[in-house]
Structure 1
Amino acid sequence: MRSDTDMLRLLLDLAERDERIRLVTLEGSRTNRNIPADIYQDYDISYFVTDLEAFKQSDRWLQHFGEPLMMQKPEAMELFPPELGNWFSYLILFKDGVKLDLTLIPIGETDDYFAQSDGLVEVLLDKDARVRNAIVPSDRHYWIRKPTAREFDDCCNEFWMASTYVVKGLTRQEILYAIDHLHEVVRPNLLRMMTWLIGSEHGYAFSVGKNYKFIQRYLPPPDWETLLSTYSGNGYPEMRRALTVCQALFRQYAKAVAGRLGYSYPAYDEAVTIYTERLYVD
């Protein structure tokens, strides 16, 4: 696999030689000093160009970066509608394992880019001195944020309502329906609540990472093991147990958050628990 120095040199060499490329930025985890560096990090690069359509006419220019194992062009797909407006991106996995996410942006949309940036940006090349103020990458956008009383209640409401859908799927023998609601709604709200308690205990000046990947650092080992147990198993008894464990953890953490922040924990927890237990029996 090519080194960071080699890959960044390739990316800048092309930009320096091509007059259509006026500005180059690096985004994502490689700009975040709080993320341990490793060989699996993508290179999230943006080229700000004067003629975007000319680049799109052929992919041959991308060979400058190496031999691809696979490439995806999200804005050229039909099944998945594009989401970047006038921007165009290439997601490239090279044969040596390097992953490049390269986005072409019209130079006229530079201000819009920085206005909507998440803060994890580093300017690598600026031919026209367009970026007048110093850019210091920061993951502040992803820091844990103290929930309002309404947000806290919304999280509780969503968790317990979705729990009834999981039970309904299990009692109907529709396990994929149950699994989907557990994985996509129930557990994410449990993780959100856990993060809120972590923030209330440790402050709100850090992030637990994308997909909560660093949450283990802040959870008591028994709670971490209990949380992990909800990911295993694919049968009906296992799914029922996973939901019951999620409910117990959510109750524990939500009550702790309510106590620390002075919020009210909803009484419908008990009613929904009784309701779901009755469905299991029926």
Structure 2
Amino acid sequence: MRSEQEMKNLLISFAKNDNRIRLVTLEGSRANKNIPRDSLQDYDISYFVTDMDSFKKNDEWLNVFGKRLIMQKPEDMELFPPELGHWFSYLMLFEDGNRIDLTLIPINEVDDYFSNSDGLVEVLLDKGGLVKNKVVANDRKYWIKKPTAREFDDCCNEFWWVSTYVVKGLARKEILFTIDHLNEIVRPNLLRMMSWQIGLERGFTFSVGKNYKFIEQYLPKDDWETLLTTYSESSGIRSIE
């Protein structure tokens, strides 16, 4: 498997040698110093380009990044409508296990990109001094947010109100209906409340990760074990651990 440095060198080298690419940024977990590195992290890369159509007319230029096992082009799909406006992305999984999520962005959208950024951005290459201000990646936008009294009340109310749908679904043996309400509404509000408890105890100055994936690090062991028992997959999760 190619190393992080090898992948970055490849992505930057390609951009340096293509005059259509004027700016390269890295986003996501690999730009977040608070997340431990591992080989499963994607490379979320944006190329700011002067000519979108010349890239989009065929995919041969992507071969330089390696042999692809599978690729998805979300903005070229019918079943799942595109959401990125004029941007165009290539989600690629390679033979060696590396994954690149590469997005092409028109050069005239640089300012909009940075003004709407979530903060997890690292500039890898800037050919023409397009970035006027110093960019320092941070995950502040994802820190646990201290709730207002109204938000706390709303969370409790939503949890208990929708829990009645779960009971109703079980009584009717409508299992998929039940699971949907449990997983999409009840459980997220439980996790939201648990994250608020963590924030009250430790401060609201950090993130518990996307989909609460790091919450185990901050919960008492008994609470974590109890949380796992609410998942039907808990036995399988424990066997993996």
Task: Could you tell me which runs of 5 or more consecutive residues in structure 2 were left unpaired when the two chains were aligned.
Answer: 235-241
Aligned residue in 2 for 1:170: 170
Partners of 2:186 and 2:169 lie apart in 1 by 13
| Structure-to-structure mapping, 1:85-164, within 5 angstroms | 85-164=85-164
SS for the counterpart of 1:123 is strand
More helix by share: 1
Shift of 1:14: 1.1
| Distance in 2, Cα, partners of 1:161 & 1:112 | 40
Post-superposition offset of 1:100? 0.3
Structure (1 or 2) with the larger CA radius of gyration: 1
Q: How many corresponding residue pairs?
A: 234
Deviation at 1:78, TM superposition (A): 0.4
The CA distance in 2 between the partners of 1:33 and 1:10, in whole Å, is 22
SS in 2 for 1:136: coil
Aligned to 1:263: none
State how far apart, in whole Å, the 1-side matches of 2:153 and 2:115 are: 31
1:69 corresponds in structure 2 to 69
**Residue type of the partner of 2:7?**
M
Q: What is the CA–CA distance in structure 2 between the aligned matches of 1:217 and 1:118, rounded to whole Å? A: 24
Cα deviation 1:81-130 (Å, max 9, x = unaligned): 10000000010000110000000000000000001110000000000101
After superposing on structure 2, the runs of 4+ consecutive aligned residues of structure 1 that deviate more than 4 Å are none
Cα 1:157–1:97 change in 2 (3 A) is same
Superposed, which structure 2 residues align to 1:1-282 within 5 Å? 1-232=1-232
CA distance in 1, matches of 2:61, 2:122: 24
**1:25-73 deviation digits (Å, cap 9, x = unpaired):** 0001111111000101100000000011111100000001000000000
Closer, same or farther: CA 47–233 of 1 in aligned 2, 3 Å: closer
Equivalent-residue separation in structure 2 for 1:138 and 1:153 (angstroms) = 30
Structure 1 residue 137: Cα displacement: 0.4
CA distance in 2, matches of 1:219, 1:158: 23
- Structure 1 gaps of 5+ residues are 235-282
1:188 Cα deviation (Å)? 0.6
Does the residue aligned with 1:198 lie in a helix, a strand or coil? helix
Cα distance, 1:232 vs. partner? Answer: 1.9
CA distance in 2, matches of 1:230, 1:21: 49
CA RMSD of aligned residues (A): 1.0
TM-score where L is the length of structure 1: 0.82
1:10 and 1:218 map into 2 onto residues whose CA distance is 37
CA distance in 2, matches of 1:90, 1:134: 28
TM superposition score normalised by structure 2:
0.95
What per-residue deviation string (whole Å, max 9, x for no partner) do you get for residues 192-214 of structure 1? 00000100110011000111111
What's the % identity of the aligned pairs? 71
